[in-house]
Amino acid sequence: MEADSVIQASWIMAKSLVIVESPAKAKTINKYLGSEYTVKASMGHVMDLPKKDLGVDIEKDFKPTYHIIPGRKDVIQELRSAAKKADAVYLAADPDREGEAICAHLRELLDSRKQKIYRVLFNEITRDAIREAFNHPGEIDSHLVDAQQARRILDRLVGYQVSPLLWDRVKRGISAGRVQTVALRLIVEREREIRAFQKKEYWTITAHLLGKHPPAFDARLVKIKGENPEIPDQAAAEQHVAAAQAAEFIVESVTIKEKKKYPVPPFITSKLQQEAVRKLHFSAKKTMMLAQRLYEGVELGDEGSAGLITYMRTDSTRVAEGALAAARDYIQKQYGKEYLPAETVRYKSKKDAQDAHEAIRPTEVNRTPESVKAFLSADEFKLYKLIWQRFVASQMNPAIFDQTTIDITAGDYLFRATGSVEKFNGFRAIYEEGQDDKAGEEEAEELKHRLPAVEQGERLKLQKLTPEQHFTEPPPRYNEATLVKALEEKGIGRPSTYATILSIIQNREYVEKLQGRFYPTELGMLTSDLLVKNFSDIFDVAYTARMEEELDEVEEGKLKWTDALAEFYKRFKKELRAAEREMADVKGEGIPTDVKCEKCGKPMVIRLGRNGNFLACTGYPECDGTRDLTPELAEQYGGGSVAPEVPEQSCEKCGKPMVVKRGRFGYFLACSGYPECRNTKRIVMGEGQVTAVEDKPLDEKCPECGSQLVIKHGRYGQFTACSNYPNCKYVKRQTLGIPCPEKGCSGEIVVRRTKRGKTFYGCTRYPECKFTAWDKPIAEPCPNCGSPILLEKVTQKSGPVRYCPNEACQYEHAAV
């Protein structure tokens, strides 16, 4: 009897174990669950395919071999120990494919014979959502796990079998990705469109007119004898100006229409990333990192930790009924009945949207941005405000405008003036969506123009007739917003992958982001050309989109994951074998051309050199003939990028012409008087123009030679150096103002960069002092071991985390 009582008492005392991905999420959830639960973090994925080999048995239905991720063994051991003491285990990873895979791997690693293991799902981390999830726990969704596993294996098959080809034929260390290569292809094809574009001159004519009532206004020429105007040059423009000036300007018609502008739906992932680029200038990666923190929970003073937004990886615009009702109540109280639609506004998601998740919205609409501003970082506040405003605006009435169109005749010419007057601001009282294209800019411009009251038949006084020259423009290069938009429209990738895609193509040095726009590098263009040519199916935009649809079908249980992989691998294997035979060897043999060597007459090939692509003689080493790669040959043979066109200019030091040269880090301007004059300028490519950046003098002397210090522009941004370079090679280091933590060292910590441009931190007394760190040092002592500094790293799941650099000390805490 006593033994039974002891057993019963121990059962009552046992806690349920809850496992989430991050410490921040654990902290917030623990607040809502109470003392009968223990909440621990897995720190993200715990198992993955091995790094050193394929890890997939193709002959046995693509059976994967998973290993515990290095660095997760201690975490797994801790979770196993906690699970043994628990009466039940609740797996509460994020509600998507990746989260479901984490749960499946955790179930496999834990000893599930002794405990019940449940899957709990919630779209927001709030008290009601957490309680509802734990009151109705479920099972792991095998279809979701299969879809994640299929994607992981697809990417592994491509990456581990195509990348070695690139190492052999192009350059060691580069790699291919199933989806990333398609994104790179879009950027490369857009670059070729821009280079092939032939600008065409055209002219417009604007009349500045005055009626009976002010103000004067502008009207644009829209018709000549009933036809659209074609004014190709200045002579034609002046001819039309002369003819129009001789005519009377008479109002032919005045049309006033009421126009409504409706709000846009609450955010889905892609739209959040696009708008954050447009309005906040955040990268997609930064946007998702901040959104993750807002979702997982933020400390709100006495209220404690609270999740501020719903789950941020979604392509559904659906919103819970309770949240819609709360938004309508807020709008009526804060803005009045005239801003509230008669019925709740519901938006349709796109056809292939995964409707299990809601749109991205605030978890509590009454938690206004200003009410939580004190508890958020500046960037967190900006993003939360954007999400909150968009959600509230989505439930408001449309804005109403009076749109006026005035048509004016002048002989054979018809001029038109348009303008809009806002009668009711509606949702615009709180939010206005950003624009990517010129059509959006023109619409915004129209709202600024107020037109005077005129009558049909009224004669107007011509103040001025202005001809203006224009040139047609090529399509713009992609920025992060427009590339995400293109990927979404073409069905490439899914909400959880956009930010990763953009990061990878930059990290692999296939593209550079200059002034916010993506430019393909020579390596990127060459790699894209070779992969698209040799894998025309696998890296086809439409086929990649179809594979995304098949993964969705796997998730829905309509298609076996092994069948999807088998169909893909059948195509892939055929192209892989052909590529092994036929892919051009740029590193060895080069890309053949019809160009003859000027020295010996032998054919020349395109090779990839340290400073980019160039033409080399096939007679090497007997003949060392080389030539620059012309734009025509680069286009014809797929040889990558070509030198930018820079306006002619003279060297300010010696007066000789400056010429475009190519170095290790790309193109630059150099004095043609080299080596007597070593003046150089960095070339910066902005949207629509190429400029050479000059050094900026500072009121500071070089400590080594006494010359003036200048701000220079390097491959990785600005830096301060001596103007007497190359005679003096002093470079001023960016200091953190933190003493070196090594005992007895009098140096301080400065920002340094590797040869590949990666930032790290080191001591000013290097090489005497060997202190280095990849993560940023913080002047905060460790409370556990007394280390004078902590290091700060940023993870997508957990946000900023500070930890002790002493490996024997495991102190770690979330950065505020």
How far apart, in Å, are the Cα atoms of 717 and each of 514, 665, 724, 774?
10, 12, 20, 19
Cα(400)–Cα(810) distance, integer angstroms: 60
Backbone torsions φ then ψ of 400, nearest 5 degrees: -120, 130
Cα(711)–Cα(212) distance, integer angstroms: 57
Q: Residue 613 corresponds to which tokens in the numbers above?
A: 């692509």
For residues 478 and 487, the answer to whether their CB atoms sit within 8 Å is no
Cα(44)–Cα(803) distance, integer angstroms: 17
For residues 419 and 386, the answer to whether their CB atoms sit within 8 Å is no
Q: Is the dihedral of CA 616, 619, 625, 631 positive or negative?
A: negative
Q: Residue 544 corresponds to which tokens in the numbers above?
A: 């990649």
How far apart, in Å, are the Cα atoms of 688 and each of 48, 155, 195, 691, 697?
44, 36, 11, 10, 28
Residue 807 three-state SS = coil
Cβ-in-10-Å burial (0-12, 13-18, 19+) of 236 comes to middle
Q: Is the dihedral of CA 187, 189, 192, 196 positive or negative?
A: negative
Residue type, 558: K
Q: Is 491 left (phi over 0), alpha (psi -120 to 50) or beta?
A: left
Closest by Cα among 652, 693, 658, 655 to 672:
658
How far apart, in Å, are the Cα atoms of 669 and each of 64, 660, 674, 687, 690?
52, 5, 12, 19, 11
Q: Is 457 left (phi over 0), alpha (psi -120 to 50) or beta?
A: left
Task: Starting at the earlier edge strand, list the strands of the sheet with 658-663.
Answer: 658-663, 666-671, 680-686, 689-693
Residue 311: active-site member: yes
For residues 530 and 584, the answer to whether their CB atoms sit within 8 Å is yes
Q: Residue 467 corresponds to which tokens in the numbers above?
A: 């001809």
Q: Which residue has the tokens 């002959």?
A: 59
Q: Residue 641 corresponds to which tokens in the numbers above?
A: 């990028």
Closest by Cα among 43, 109, 118, 108 to 87:
118
Cα(367)–Cα(179) distance, integer angstroms: 39
Q: Residue 803 corresponds to which tokens in the numbers above?
A: 């930890």
Q: Which residue has the tokens 């004014």?
A: 231
Q: Where are the strands (E) in 215-320, listed by range?
A: 217-224, 249-261, 298-299, 305-306
Instruction: Given the residues 32, 66, 295, 311, select the one marked as catalytic.
Output: 311
Cα(793)–Cα(778) distance, integer angstroms: 10
Residues tagged active-site: 311
